[in-house]
Structure 1
Amino acid sequence: MQRRAAAIYVVFFVLVAVGAFSLTTVAQEPSVSVAGQNYSQGDTLSAGGTEWTVNVNDGEGNVSRVNESARFTTSIANNSSLLFANGEYRPAPNGSDSGAGTGTGSPSPSATGTPGGSGTSLATGETASNDSATRFRVVISNATAGNASGGNTSGGNASGNATNVSSFTLRQEFMTSQRLRQDPSVADVALTGENGTQYVRYRNGTTQPLDEYLPTPEVRNVSVGDSFPYENNSSSVASVNTSGATLAWEGNLTRSAELKDGENATIGGTTYVAQFPTNSSVTLSQNVSGYQAEQTKLDEFNNRILGLWGTVIISLFAAVLIVALAYMPVRG
């Protein structure tokens, strides 16, 4: 009797599994496809008043455009250091070489050494790693004072700060310690007198003020509108204020938007949904809501199919378990 009942249950669960499996085979998967424009590699898409180039490769891609007259800006801070070599300026790297002398002066500038400054790059005639560059310090000091305005502040600076700044000065700096080490006639280190004046000691015992020992520094004046080649860019000075100068130039700017199957992409202010019917083409549709509705139907279908497969597996497992229990030995 026990085995007869087990056989009935086994047949029941097998029928349930067969029925669930049959439903998985006859169910038709809903398609997800909305009307849109088809594009291949190199095609052009017009969006937002601009032309975008479509790039498709192996079932993925992007759209891109190049702005050939984009405006770029950068800033150089007051009292910062620049290197000039091969006809262009670039930022001087920070370092710890004690011996940077700063060129100072008026119409006939003289140099005052200031050992202990930062910097590792060398002046003209001083080489490191076979690279020769002239080092300059940015100096902005030719501003005229503005009027105070009741102690109010504007942009973080109190009214009354220097205004009407239209130019800045580049003063040559020298790596004093490097120059002293390369000169066999003087000691390697400059001395500081009681009054703070720095001296150079010659091997014969005589001394000379450091500002007289160093050569006359080069001084360059730069105004708003002047060309200022900076880091491989044909830039010019756009503005100057007491904290630094702003450089501007035009160049190419590439903008792109990634395309992924079934995901939205905003191109030129318009949102598209991307589909890849083949590995070498993409369909872009603005019917985002329609695509999402169809995708929801597909997700529901997949969930039902998973439920049917779960029913098949559980039913077969139950049938096997019942058979095993039915044939277990019984005491007595």
Structure 2
Amino acid sequence: MQRRAVAVYVAVFLVVGGAAGTLVATADTPEVSFEDPDFERSAGETFEHAGQTYSVTEVTEKTESGGHGGGASHFMLGTIKWNVTAEASASWSNGSTVTYDGEEWTVVIEGEDPSEVTLREQIDKTAILQNDSSADNETVTSDGEEYVVVRDENGDKTLVPSDEYFPAPEERTFAEGDSLEYDGNDATIDDVTTSEAVLVWETTENREVELKQGDTVTFGETTYVAHFPDKETLVLSSDQEAYQAQLDQIDTFQEYVTGLRRIAAILTMGALTLIGLAFVPSRY
């Protein structure tokens, strides 16, 4: 009777454990999917959002080795690039020296309510004097006036006012709204005050973002979650609630599978234990 009872219990354990194992083996693991994602692109394809064009430059599987002898991990990575037009500016302070058109100029702003800025050429007086064998290499000041000492063929000296000796500096004047090439950019004189002139121009900035599974990125005012349905495609969806709900469903399924595996293991071990006990000799 004892062995018959054991046989019945073993049979029940094996049937229930086998059913649990069958459920684990035949259950379909849920996966994240979007029926109508906002964007679904492969490497080399583009998409637009709020008038801005974005380019998916790479969708690839990456391998990351584990530290301290750990196993390598594999993950998908998508790269998105785009260009952003931004406004840049520069200021020319009144009286300062600026470089323009490959030369140095003095910034001159005159008047109480100016609308123009003048660039006055800086004359290299030292170089001019050194190239003139009849003139001393340095100017002199007399009664507050600057002069150049010029000698004739007899060595007689003559004081020539600097304004007469040196060439008149070139001047270039720009009004508010005028365009000019500045530092390789098409700039505009945006505003002129008594203290400075402000130049503005547009510049292009290159931006890039790398996304893993579940990462989020915000374009404009919309936040998207990244998903990789395969090794060649990047999906961006603004439905983050649906994505989280599917993750929760997957977690629940994993807990369900783990529970069934434990049941199958416990019942199998129980059956083996009962079989072993059935063959233990009785003392009575």
**Range class of TM-score, shorter chain:** 0.5 to 0.7
**Residue 44 of structure 2 contacts residue 56 of structure 2 at CA under 8 Å; is this kept in 1?**
yes
Alignment of 1:36-75 (within 5 A): 36=37, 37-58=39-60, 59-65=77-83, 72-75=88-91
Paired position in structure 2 for 1:76: 92
Residue 270 (structure 1) aligned to one of 200, 222, 234: 222
Paired position in structure 2 for 1:197: 145
Paired position in structure 1 for 2:65: none
**Residue 34 of structure 1 contacts residue 290 of structure 1 at CA under 8 Å; is this kept in 2?**
no
**Residue 118 of structure 2 contacts residue 171 of structure 2 at CA under 8 Å; is this kept in 1?**
yes
Alignment of 1:85-234 (within 5 A): 85=101, 133-143=102-112, 163=113, 165-193=114-142, 195-202=143-150, 204=155, 206=157, 207-234=159-186
Q: Deviations over 1:108-141 (max 9, x none)?
A: xxxxxxxxxxxxxxxxxxxxxxxxx543211111
Q: Given the alignment of the two structures, is residue 33 of structure 1 paired with residue 49 of structure 2, yes or no?
A: no
Q: Deviations over 1:24-44 (max 9, x none)?
A: xx899x776342342112333
**Residue 88 of structure 2 contacts residue 203 of structure 2 at CA under 8 Å; is this kept in 1?**
no
Secondary structure of the 1:228 match is: strand
The CA distance in 1 between the partners of 2:162 and 2:193, in whole Å, is 32
Q: Given the alignment of the two structures, is residue 260 of structure 1 paired with residue 211 of structure 2, yes or no?
A: yes
Secondary structure of the 1:234 match is: strand
The CA distance in 2 between the partners of 1:184 and 1:31, in whole Å, is 93
What's the CA shift for 1:209?
Answer: 3.2
Secondary structure of the 1:42 match is: coil
Q: Given the alignment of the two structures, is residue 244 of structure 1 paired with residue 196 of structure 2, yes or no?
A: yes
What's the CA shift for 1:282?
Answer: 1.2
Amino acid in structure 2 at the alignment position of 1:213: Y
Secondary structure of the 2:177 match is: coil
**Residue 53 of structure 1 contacts residue 65 of structure 1 at CA under 8 Å; is this kept in 2?**
no
Identity value in percent? 30
Gaps of 5+ in 1: 1-25, 86-132, 144-162, 306-332
Return the structure number with greater strand share. 2
Secondary structure of the 1:272 match is: strand
Amino acid in structure 2 at the alignment position of 1:236: T
Secondary structure of the 1:179 match is: helix
Structure 1 residues 65 and 210: alpha-carbon distance in aligned structure 2, compared to 1, 3 A threshold: closer
Range with greater deviation from structure 2 (289-298 or 251-260): 289-298
Q: Deviations over 1:155-195 (max 9, x none)?
A: xxxxxxxx3x21122222112223323333333333344x4
Structure 1 residues 255 and 135: alpha-carbon distance in aligned structure 2, compared to 1, 3 A threshold: closer
Amino acid in structure 1 at the alignment position of 2:49: A
What's the CA shift for 1:205?
Answer: 5.7
The CA distance in 2 between the partners of 1:226 and 1:252, in whole Å, is 18
**Residue 56 of structure 2 contacts residue 81 of structure 2 at CA under 8 Å; is this kept in 1?**
yes
Structure 1 residues 60 and 50: alpha-carbon distance in aligned structure 2, compared to 1, 3 A threshold: closer
Greater Rg over alpha carbons, structure = 2
Amino acid in structure 2 at the alignment position of 1:46: E
**Residue 34 of structure 1 contacts residue 287 of structure 1 at CA under 8 Å; is this kept in 2?**
no
Amino acid in structure 2 at the alignment position of 1:200: V
The CA distance in 1 between the partners of 2:251 and 2:136, in whole Å, is 82
Secondary structure of the 1:177 match is: helix
Structure 1 residues 183 and 60: alpha-carbon distance in aligned structure 2, compared to 1, 3 A threshold: farther
What's the CA shift for 1:46?
Answer: 3.3
Pairwise CA RMSD of aligned residues? 3.8
What's the CA shift for 1:76?
Answer: 2.3
Amino acid in structure 1 at the alignment position of 2:78: E
Provide the TM-score with structure 1 as the length reference: 0.51
Secondary structure of the 2:138 match is: coil
Secondary structure of the 1:183 match is: coil
Paired position in structure 2 for 1:283: 235
**Residue 94 of structure 2 contacts residue 195 of structure 2 at CA under 8 Å; is this kept in 1?**
yes
Amino acid in structure 2 at the alignment position of 1:77: S
Gaps of 5+ in 2: 1-23, 61-76, 259-284
**How many corresponding residue pairs?**
208
Structure 1 residues 83 and 49: alpha-carbon distance in aligned structure 2, compared to 1, 3 A threshold: closer
Structure 1 residues 277 and 191: alpha-carbon distance in aligned structure 2, compared to 1, 3 A threshold: farther
